[in-house]
Amino acid sequence: MSTFVSTESGATYEFTDGFQMFRRTSPDAPLRKDGEWLECEVPEVRVGKGMRIRVTGIIEPPSFTIRFTTPVTAIWDGAA
């Protein structure tokens, strides 16, 4: 089971493994890494608040980057 999160910018993210893996799944927001699974840490996801996603896998290990999103508009569970 996956958890999906959409944001004000139109991006949709799919999370698995208790918010430890994610990918962008939004066809209308084509930014880098769409569709590619990345390791992450997400401390909190709440509607109306932006997400802070600590992402590994974009740059050489053991480095990481932090991605900040626009505010979350919806959170739902569904099949991948």
Confidence of residue 35 (pLDDT cuts 50, 70, 90): confident
Q: How high does pLDDT run on average in the chain?
A: 85
pTM of structure: 0.82
Number of folded domains that form the chain:
1
Kindly give, in sequence order, each residue whose CB lies less than 8 Å from that of residue 14, ignoring residues fewer than 6 positions away.
2, 3, 4, 22, 23, 24, 25, 80
Residue 75 has pLDDT above 60, yes or no: yes
Complete DSSP assignment for 4-34: EEEETTS-EEEEETTTTEEEE--TTS--TTB
7-21 tens-digit pLDDT: 998 889 999 988 999
Q: State the residue range of the domain holding 50.
A: 2-78
Residue 30 has pLDDT above 60, yes or no: no
**C-alpha 29: how far from its chain's center?**
13
